[in-house]
Structure 1
């Protein structure tokens, strides 16, 4: 699983401050969400695609695999709106299906928004390390350390849970435990796997809580950080690229002369 999310090379996007990247990507999502101009959203989709497929640092094979949910979401959302949307200028209808000029453009708009959401989210996910994100939120956005370190501890515990699940599965195979078929077998698997994992998770959570309390994470005193995060010239480059993308999308609106 870790190899799947390992890039071939770390591009300049990796060196952007994670807190700044998070804020800007969130603003870009809001811009796409409230935008109803199809040409503008279409050009944003192309530009975000260049950002993802050109500068994420991953191979085309992995990017193609990651893009499957986005493509499926695009076709499902667009076709649903096209086939069942409302419109005045009807091109073709049959039973519940009614394809109109308005439904086609609304479907394309919804599909492009879906692609934009997927590309922005995937770019942020693939080019940002979770640990550095929480360190940046603590240092640049003044996030309370007790909340940030709680999330960091949860992320660190996930590989342990996966390892325990594999160990439990191997132990049941060695003991030649067989499960029934159907719903009864599903219940048996749930009982044999989830109960021990749930108990171990409670023990770990209690140990982490005691450790954080011993290290005075409930206090609001200033703290030092093992990974300091600062603003660099890469942040200026990132801001410039985002600004150019927005202005370019607005400038090339005339290529698709239709406004919803």
Structure 2
């Protein structure tokens, strides 16, 4: 699983301050969420797609695999809204299905929003280390350490839990344990898996608490950090790239409006 999320090379997006990236991407999601212009969202999706597929540092094979859920979400949301949406200028109807100019507009808009959401979120997830994100939130956004270190501990302990689950499964297979089908087998599986994992998690949490207490960890005290996060020139480059993308999408929106865009996407329909 770790190899799947390992890039071929680390591009300049990895050197952007995670707090800056988080805040800016969150604002971009809000812009896309409240935007109702199809041409603007469409061009914005293309531009951020260039950012993802050009500078994420992952191979095309992995990016294609990650893109499958986004494409399926785009198709399902766009087709559903197009076939069952409301509209005045009806082109074709059959039973519950009614395709109109308005439903096509809303369908493409919803599909492009879904795709843009996926591209922005995937860009952030693939180019940001979770640990560095919480360090940046503590240092730049003044997030309370009790929340940040809770998430850091959770992220650190997840691989251990996965390894223990695999070890437990192998041990049960070696012992020849077989589970029956139905509710009874599910309860037996739950008992043999969850109780040992839960007990190990309690022991591990206690060891972490003792270690933090031995290192005199205090929530209210001023702290130094092993991984300092600062603002660099790469952050300015990132802000400039995002701003250029927004202005370019707004400029292209005037050059290629909704009518021309729809005719280009669906040339067979009598628009």
Give me the TM-score of the superposition, normalised by structure 1: 0.96
State the alpha-carbon separation in 2 of the partners of residues 35 and 213 from structure 1: 49
Q: Which residue number in structure 2 is paired with residue 61 of structure 1?
A: 61
State the alpha-carbon separation in 1 of the partners of residues 214 and 135 from structure 2: 20
Contact 1:39 1:255 in 2 (8 A): no
Contact 2:78 2:107 in 1 (8 A): yes
Q: Which residue number in structure 1 is paired with residue 267 of structure 2?
A: none
Q: Which residue number in structure 2 is paired with residue 250 of structure 1?
A: 250
Q: Which residue number in structure 2 is paired with residue 72 of structure 1?
A: 72
Matched, 1:9 2:6: no
Q: 1:195 to 1:255 in 2, by over 3 A?
A: farther
- Deviation, 1:204, is 2.0
Q: Which residue number in structure 2 is paired with residue 203 of structure 1?
A: 203
Matched, 1:90 2:64: no
State the alpha-carbon separation in 2 of the partners of residues 63 and 166 from structure 1: 28
Structure 2 matches for 1:1-260, cutoff 5 A?
1-258=1-258
State the alpha-carbon separation in 2 of the partners of residues 25 and 81 from structure 1: 26
State the alpha-carbon separation in 1 of the partners of residues 96 and 206 from structure 2: 56
- Provide, for residues 183-202 of structure 1, a one-character-per-residue CA deviation record: whole Å limited to 9, x for no partner: 33222222211221122222
State the alpha-carbon separation in 2 of the partners of residues 216 and 89 from structure 1: 70
State the alpha-carbon separation in 1 of the partners of residues 205 and 86 from structure 2: 51
Q: Which residue number in structure 1 is paired with residue 266 of structure 2?
A: none
Contact 2:90 2:98 in 1 (8 A): yes
- Deviation, 1:181, is 1.8
- Provide, for residues 152-197 of structure 1, a one-character-per-residue CA deviation record: whole Å limited to 9, x for no partner: 1111000110010011001001100011123332222222112211
Unaligned runs of 5+ in 1: none
- Aligned to 2:132, the other structure's residue is in SS state helix
- Aligned to 1:135, the other structure's residue is in SS state helix
- Aligned to 2:116, the other structure's residue is in SS state helix
State the alpha-carbon separation in 1 of the partners of residues 47 and 95 from structure 2: 39
Unaligned runs of 5+ in 2: 260-271
Greater RCO, CA 8 A, separation 6+: 1
- Provide, for residues 192-245 of structure 1, a one-character-per-residue CA deviation record: whole Å limited to 9, x for no partner: 112211222222223333443454544312101001111110000000000000
> Matched residue pairs, number?
259
Contact 1:145 1:217 in 2 (8 A): no
- Aligned to 1:120, the other structure's residue is in SS state helix
Contact 2:145 2:219 in 1 (8 A): no
State the alpha-carbon separation in 1 of the partners of residues 36 and 59 from structure 2: 33
- Provide, for residues 57-79 of structure 1, a one-character-per-residue CA deviation record: whole Å limited to 9, x for no partner: 00000000001110111111111
